[in-house]
Amino acid sequence: MDLILKKLTLKNETMLLDDLKWRYATKAYQEGKKVPQEDIDKIIEAIRLAPTSSGLQPFRIIVIDDQETKQKLVEGALNPKGIMACSHIIAFAAWDNYTPERIDEMYNLITDERGLPRGRYARYTDMLKERFAQREPVRNFEHAARQAYIALGMALAQAAELKIDSTPVEGFDHENFDKVLGLEKLGLKSVVLMYVGYADRENDWLAPMKKVRISKDELVIKH
């Protein structure tokens, strides 16, 4: 049994690496070709299951697939054709600040789901509240934004496993996105986007290019 599990684990690890080698930051999408909702749901689930600091999940996502909303978001984008042609945009938006209320809400959920009394982690959450209260809101937002990037990595890997093309995107007008999506009233600020769809490889200049990364020896610093 142990040998079988070892072989299955090795096979899954190889498949993940193969998926990561397959994916690239798609530059051109097949306009009008939609990703099935069941696959979008799998990508969303990968985002939901992503690890975050202290388990706070301090971000939310907005899934956009209608052309009318996309058109409003084009302004200020470095690749406006990508916005319009991709099947879906997944926008990651982080908390604008950590607050005691937000921390309590998450830890009430944690204790309720684990069948524990509320306040079970009070010493830890009190420490979190004190630490975040000592920092400027912008620093707390930056911390929350970093958690969104962890989830983005999970989403990119899940899309690759499904053989769905994707692009992580920072080149967009954050103020415009926040306004169009009504993020300020939700206490959120846009962080990063993920385009999802199917590559138009005939018109994608990057598609035929070799994937280039630094070597493992250069990546890993020995000490």
Question: What percent of the chain clears pLDDT 70, i.e. is strictly above it?
Answer: 94
| Residue 177: C-alpha distances to residues 19, 29, 35, 79 (Å) | 31, 21, 23, 15
Model confidence pLDDT, tens digit, residues 37-56: 999 999 999 999 999 999 99
The pLDDT value given to residue 196? 98
With a cut of 90, say whether residue 150 has pLDDT above it: yes
**Separation of first and last alpha carbons in the chain:** 38
Question: Hey, where are the domains in the chain?
Answer: 2-219
Average pLDDT, the chain: 95
Model confidence pLDDT, tens digit, residues 175-219: 999 999 999 999 999 999 999 999 999 999 999 999 999 999 999
Model confidence pLDDT, tens digit, residues 57-114: 999 999 999 999 999 999 989 999 999 999 999 999 999 999 999 999 999 999 999 9
pTM: 0.93
Which CATH architecture is the domain 2-219 placed in?
3-Layer(aba) Sandwich (3.40)
Q: H-helix or E-strand containing 167?
A: strand 165-169
